[in-house]
């Protein structure tokens, strides 16, 4: 049983849940401080459950749909499906099970989350097709993860608001920017398979420049959220560290040397999201 669990967590890169989960917690605690009901451990567990089930569905479906491409690409040939660790049918069953669990938990949260859950699934599952259609696929991926802050806020309040939407825009441009960097590794393969991405369309050097511009927009939305919330120094300290780490990942990646992509993609972004969330949530309670 332990091996099976490990196989599926590796299939979906479970540790990468860390990217969007801190922003979901920002949305959750932002709502809590403005909610008469106060903190609820059960509701927090439901929100985290929705995050996990949604991401498992999205990543599992991506691995299932791209299994032939993964097998042909030397960089991805050892992923669980092409390596034979997890069969395609078992991966598809995993996706279906997690999608059903996502909808059920959304129903347990409130009616609005339940009604919106099919829309969320359409976005996060639909991303897997977009690389076959458009080089803007990075922005469809980020749209799925950008649902985290506003979704968590809706789970508590049942209504939309500007601040969580601003944090969703932070996630949207942050994720699309670093996904463009990540896709630079597969330019030659994507072109040979007629797969679309910004690096495949523009070349690595131009794609990295586009990524910089996208992350400059992130800084703008981080600042906008702080202004709207009338935040104090704790928020702005977190904002500074977050944007500094985004800047760092661009400094360590060169168009002729992509050896540090994993450091930029996994380590730097994971640390950045956690630190930012800690400072932002702390600013809600101590300022």
Quick one: pLDDT at residue 85? 92
Specify the length of the chain in residues.
Answer: 287
Poorest-pLDDT segment among 5-19, 40-54, 198-212, 242-256:
5-19
Q: pLDDT (tens digit, 9 = 90+) per residue, 224-269? A: 999 999 999 999 999 999 999 999 999 988 888 888 887 777 788 8
Task: Single out the residue of 174, 115, 166, 120 nearest to residue 142, CA to CA.
Answer: 174
The pTM score is 0.94
> CA-to-CA distance for 139 and 151, rounded, in angstroms?
18
Quote the domain boundaries for residue 81. 2-286
Question: Which three-class secondary structure state does DSSP give residue 89?
Answer: helix
> CA-to-CA distance for 130 and 141, rounded, in angstroms?
9
pLDDT band at 108 (very low <50, low <70, confident <90, very high): very high
- The residue-averaged pLDDT of 102-122 equals 95
In this structure, what CATH number is given to the domain that contains residue 95? 1.10.357.140
Quick one: pLDDT at residue 231? 94
- The residue-averaged pLDDT of 172-186 equals 94
First to last CA, the chain: 47
> CA-to-CA distance for 17 and 20, rounded, in angstroms?
6
Count: domains in the chain: 1
């Amino acid at each position: 049983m332990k091996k099976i669990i490990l196989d599926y967590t590796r299939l979906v890169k479970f540790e990468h849940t860390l990217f969007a989960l801190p922003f979901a917690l920002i949305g959750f605690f932002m709502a809590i401080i403005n909610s008469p009901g106060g903190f609820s451990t059960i509701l927090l567990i439901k929100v985290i459950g929705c995050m996990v089930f949604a991401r498992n569905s999205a990543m599992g479906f991506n691995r299932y749909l791209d299994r032939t491409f993964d097998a042909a690409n030397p960089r991805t040939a050892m992923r669980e499906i092409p390596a034979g660790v997890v069969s395609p049918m078992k991966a598809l069953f995993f996706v279906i099970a997690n999608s059903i669990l996502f909808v059920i938990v959304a129903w347990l949260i409130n009616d609005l989350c339940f009604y919106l859950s099919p829309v969320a699934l359409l976005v996060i599952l639909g991303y897997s097709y977009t690389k076959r259609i458009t080089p803007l696929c990075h922005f469809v991926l980020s749209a799925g993860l950008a649902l985290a802050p506003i979704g968590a806020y809706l789970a508590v309040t049942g209504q939309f608001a500007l601040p969580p939407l601003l944090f969703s825009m932070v996630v949207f441009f942050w994720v699309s920017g670093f996904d463009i960097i990540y896709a630079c590794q597969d330019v030659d393969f994507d072109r040979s398979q007629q797969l679309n991405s910004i690096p495949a369309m523009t070349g690595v050097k131009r794609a990295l420049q586009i990524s910089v511009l996208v992350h400059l927009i992130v800084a703008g939305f981080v600042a906008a959220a702080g202004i709207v919330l009338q935040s104090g120094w704790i928020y702005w300290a977190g904002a500074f560290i977050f944007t500094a780490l985004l800047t760092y990942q661009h400094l360590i990646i060169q168009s002729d040397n992509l050896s540090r992509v994993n450091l930029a993609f996994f380590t730097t972004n994971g640390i950045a999201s956690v630190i930012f969330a800690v400072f932002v949530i702390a600013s809600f309670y101590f300022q």
